[in-house]
Amino acid sequence: MDKNKIVFTCDRGPNILKALKEDEVKIPSPLKYIESNTSLSELPSKACELLDVITTSEQLVKHVKLCGLNKSIQDSDGVVLKQAIVVRWLSISNLLEPVDLSYEHLRSILSRSSNTKQSFKLNKINIDGLKDLIRLLSVFKDVSVLVQTGARPSLHMVYIAMNKLEHHLNGNDVDENGDFIPIDDRHEGTNFFRKRLLQLLRTMFTFDEKHLAAKTIAHSYIREQIDEILGLDTEQHTQLTEPTKKA
């Protein structure tokens, strides 16, 4: 009998789950779902300031595009501003980075404009919050590049990527020697988004046997871990693994 085709009607749900324990399917916790979903009205004031940074940056970039000011920014050795799709984190990262790099160029150009409203918007951007958001999102961009490896196997990268993201969202980065570096956030609202992103990450992604097996047998992962443990960079590793040439 196929248990998947049986429909149970019962007011004792836990008993049914216990009876079918061998076929138990993990269901996302409702508590985790609630924790990972917060309305704007419930956000702390400092977290709202960071959202204002994104909104104001979007408005500024839209104004720059409509008025053709990117050419002036380029002529003053600035970086072209780019619009973003709000629902895509990497797109938001690509929006914020040029705003940070071209901030002074943009200030100079807008100060010559008769539209003082845009200059006010630029001054409204919290620089500490802007830099924190860029750093927070940069690791997601790094992980996307890491996982999108073209035709090469990438299943083992899931484990590496998740660990990298968890360390980052817990407030730690790792240097080239494998040592943890504490991240000092500039803005008070950044930690809220670190915790919220970590909740989302743990709710949306779970490891299974395939990921753990791929991590164990993947040669590239093993080499990376050995290099990290020994503190070797790529050049040193190559020198050690190449056979000695005979004279």
Does 165 map to a domain? Answer: yes
Q: What pLDDT was estimated at residue 159?
A: 78
pTM: 0.67
Q: Is residue 235 part of a domain?
A: yes
pLDDT band at 183 (very low <50, low <70, confident <90, very high): confident
CA atoms within 13 A on the CB side of 230: 12
Flag whether 12 is in a domain: no
Quick one: pLDDT band at residue 30, thresholds 50, 70, 90? very low
Output the CA angle 213-27-32, nearest 5 degrees.
100
Q: 152 and 233: one domain?
A: yes
Q: Could you tell me whether strands 180-182 and 172-174 are parallel, antiparallel, or unpaired per DSSP bridges? A: antiparallel
Inform me whether the pLDDT recorded for 177 exceeds 50: yes
What would the pLDDT profile of 127-159 be if each residue is shown by its tens digit? 999 999 999 998 888 888 777 766 666 777 777
Number of domains in the chain: 2
User: Does a structural domain hold residue 70?
Assistant: yes
- One domain, residues 108 and 186: no
- Domain end marker among 79, 99, 125: 125
Distance (Å, whole) CA 152 – CA 91: 25
170 and 227 in a single domain? The answer is yes
Domain boundaries, position 93: 43-125
pLDDT at position 104 over 90? yes
Average pLDDT, the chain: 75
* Residues with Cβ within 8 Å of residue 246, at least 6 apart in sequence: none
Measure CA of the first residue to CA of the last residue in the chain; give whole Å. Answer: 73
At 199-235, the pLDDT tens digits run: 888 888 777 777 777 767 766 655 665 565 556 554 5
Query: Of residues 80 and 85, which shows the higher confidence score?
Result: 80
Q: State whether 148 and 92 are in the same domain.
A: no
At residue 8, the pLDDT reads: 47
pLDDT of amino acid 95? 92
Q: What is the pLDDT of residue 12?
A: 47
Q: Which residues partner with 174 through β-bridges? A: 180
Last residue of one domain, picked from the residues 125, 155, 183? 125
Which residues make Cβ contacts (< 8 Å) with residue 71, sequence separation at least 6?
none
